[in-house]
Amino acid sequence: KIPESQILIIFGASGDLTHRKLIPSLFELFERKLLPDKFLIVGVSRTKQSTEEFRQSLHSSIIGNGKTYATDNPYLKNFLREIYYISCDTTDCNAYVALFREIEQLRNAAGIEDNMLFYLATPPQMYATIPICIQAQQQNISKNGWRRIIIEKPYGSNEDEAKQLDKLLCGIFPEREIYRIDHFLGKETVQNILVLRFANSIWEPLWNRNYIDHIEITATETLGVEQRGNYYDSAGALRDMVQSHLMQIMAFIAMEPPSSFETEAIRNEISKVFRSLRPLSPDDIAHNILRAQYSEGKLNGTKLPGYREEPNVNKQSTTETFVALKLYIDNWRWAHVPFYIYTGKRLSEKRSEIIIHFRSTPQALFPGQCCGDSCNQLIITLQPDESIRLRFGLKQPGTNFEVQQVSMDFFYNSLIPNKLPDAYERLLLDAMRGDALLYSRSDALELSWHYLAPLIDHWEKEKEENLVFYPAGSPIPREITHIYSHPYVLEAPVC
Ligand code: BG6
């Protein structure tokens, strides 16, 4: 469905997210004719520049975005014509009078309906100010369409802040018009978890504690904190990746089948998973969680600085750049099945994947047969190669019954030869269409913060306790074995 006529107003328009993700994704949608005929993008930020200069900088970002476009690509020219820039001090509510006057003029001139989608691609400190200033302006204007807002993560930095932000936003926008973005949910492979599970009958009988031994959810990166030292040093891996992306993935893996494919039916199931999480005890914090920070190291022959040497990072920082957790979901489906979550920066490879480890057979009949608690595996890889692999044992050709582990592989690029659409394409389109299925609901976010609260509080008090270090560019820190009672290998153990 093509979205209705509307105007997209991006706050934080001169920033990295706008250039690297939002505009290239909007251009892809434009090229695929998925944007409304009557549509405008207005970039807003403090930087003084003209619309022409803004278009020039966006042009370079699109051209430099991995895909090759001719600089005179007619689509690109037409797309850039739909983009305007307004410089505004967004911390000053008075400045919004002129801002909205200009937006109104652009909207009227282009004959666009009175529908406005606001995107907050700004630092989190602005998540309260901008909506308050928008409201101050909007309440004096008669409006004939909708107002919708997209908020980037981090949505608060703890449970209280998330609640305060919700209270504020819900006083300004109806809940159904608040879109809390989690870009992992825009990834094809993450959405496919739902289809894999609920469009096929073969998994459901096995998808429970009777057949699944444990589950691993991993997201490792080779990148460090880049230019985001300021933000990252106050966030750390737990807030940056676990509270949002990885807990959402866990919910997709663990949720019950929804009663329908309606947004609220799915969101209800996600919240139920979070409600069933076993609260973190002091014992869990001491034994089932590992935090670590990268020190100086090397990746592919290049020397890399330690985290504390990164720009805008405190030289004595105790912020974790790696975290591993073992957690339990106390419900009928998952009782006693450990879920392991690992994520970290500056590791040896970029890999995001989910491994479902099935239980072994009751007896090992054949030599070489997999045994122990990590036998058949279903491996859903989000990155680097989007794929699904099922690993199982087969007879080695020959006169004996030697068993060999093999895998049945599906690669996404067999369905779509070009690269998969970027997560932001899908999410932007959904917000424009008014479909919030792939956005987080406030209760789920609050519940995930609530779950992590004891850990966050503990680390705030015990800043150095159990913090270990790993050299940049190394594999997952070996201290992981304290919490992961299974060998950390893809290959199943052989009897
Ligand atoms: C972001 C985090 O939300 O996700 C980053 O803030 C992280 O620190 C990024 O690098 C990872 O996303 P992706 O899509 O590159 O795996």
Residue-wise pLDDT for 433-456, tens only, equals 999 999 999 999 999 999 999 999
Task: From the CA of 221, give the closest atom in ligand 1.
Answer: 10
pLDDT exceeds 90 at position 223: yes
Cα-only R_g, the chain: 24
pLDDT exceeds 60 at position 491: no
Pairing between β-strand 39-45 and β-strand 83-87 as defined by DSSP bridges? parallel
Task: From the CA of 187, give the closest atom in ligand 1.
Answer: 14
Secondary structure of residue 10 in the 3-state scheme: strand
| CA 183 to centroid of ligand 1, rounded, Å | 8
Pairing between β-strand 387-395 and β-strand 212-220 as defined by DSSP bridges? unpaired
pLDDT score of 67: 64
Neighbours of 278 (CB within 10 A): 14
pLDDT score of 372: 61
pLDDT confidence band for 466 (50 / 70 / 90): confident
Measured distance CA(191)–CA(182) in Å, rounded: 12
pLDDT score of 139: 74
- Higher pLDDT, residue 334 or 415: 334
pLDDT confidence band for 473 (50 / 70 / 90): very high
pLDDT exceeds 70 at position 460: yes
ipTM of the complex: 0.98
pLDDT confidence band for 371 (50 / 70 / 90): low
Q: Using one digit for the tens of pLDDT, what is the confidence trace for 386-412?
A: 999 999 989 999 999 988 889 999 999
Counting ligand 1 atoms within 8 A of each CB, the residue from 180, 184, 232 with the most, and so the one to mutate, is 184
Counting ligand 1 atoms within 8 A of each CB, the residue from 240, 349, 381 with the most, and so the one to mutate, is 240
Q: Using one digit for the tens of pLDDT, what is the confidence trace for 152-183?
A: 999 999 999 999 999 999 999 999 999 999 99
32-45: average pLDDT: 96
| CA 393 to centroid of ligand 1, rounded, Å | 35
- Higher pLDDT, residue 364 or 113: 113
- Average pLDDT of the chain to the nearest whole number: 92
pLDDT score of 490: 43
Task: Enter the pTM of the model.
Answer: 0.93
pLDDT confidence band for 493 (50 / 70 / 90): low
pLDDT exceeds 60 at position 115: yes
Residues in the chain: 495
pLDDT exceeds 70 at position 486: no
Counting ligand 1 atoms within 8 A of each CB, the residue from 16, 180, 182, 183 with the most, and so the one to mutate, is 183
84-93: average pLDDT: 97
pLDDT score of 480: 82
| CA 148 to centroid of ligand 1, rounded, Å | 24
pLDDT exceeds 80 at position 116: yes
Percent of the chain scoring above 90 in pLDDT: 82
HSE-CB at 108 with a 13 A cutoff on CA atoms is 6
Measured distance CA(52)–CA(58) in Å, rounded: 10
327-340: average pLDDT: 97
Q: How far is CA 160 from CA 155, 163, 443, in A?
A: 11, 5, 13
Q: Using one digit for the tens of pLDDT, what is the confidence trace for 309-322?
A: 999 999 999 999 99
DSSP secondary structure, 141-196, as one string = S--SS-EEEEEPSP--SSHHHHHHHHHHHHTTS-GGGEEE--GGGGSHHHHHHHHH
335-363: average pLDDT: 94
Q: Using one digit for the tens of pLDDT, what is the confidence trace for 226-248?
A: 889 999 999 999 999 999 999 99
| CA 475 to centroid of ligand 1, rounded, Å | 18
Q: Residue 353: CB within 6 Å of ligand 1? A: no
74-90: average pLDDT: 95
Taking CB atoms within 8 Å and a gap of at least 24, the contacts of 135-139 are 135/172, 136/93, 136/96, 137/93, 137/96, 137/97, 137/99, 137/100, 138/100
Residues whose CB is less than 8 angstroms from the CB of residue 51 and which lie 6 or more positions away in sequence, other chains included: 83, 84, 85
pLDDT exceeds 60 at position 373: no
Q: How far is CA 251 from CA 37, 192, 219, 268, in A?
A: 37, 13, 16, 11
Q: Using one digit for the tens of pLDDT, what is the confidence trace for 11-26?
A: 999 999 999 999 999 9
pLDDT exceeds 50 at position 76: yes
pLDDT score of 489: 44
Percent of the chain scoring above 70 in pLDDT: 95
pLDDT score of 456: 96
pLDDT confidence band for 424 (50 / 70 / 90): very high
Residues whose CB is less than 8 angstroms from the CB of residue 410 and which lie 6 or more positions away in sequence, other chains included: 387, 388, 389
pLDDT exceeds 70 at position 325: yes
Contact 349, 474 (CB under 8 A): no
Q: How far is CA 24 from CA 30, 109, 315, in A?
A: 10, 25, 36
| CA 172 to centroid of ligand 1, rounded, Å | 29
**Sheet arrangement for strand 212-220:** 403-411, 387-395, 377-383, 351-358, 212-220, 339-344, 322-327, 289-295, 467-471
Contact 149, 118 (CB under 8 A): yes
pLDDT score of 70: 67
Q: What is the largest CA-CA distance in the chain?
A: 85
245 catalytic per annotation: yes
197-226: average pLDDT: 96
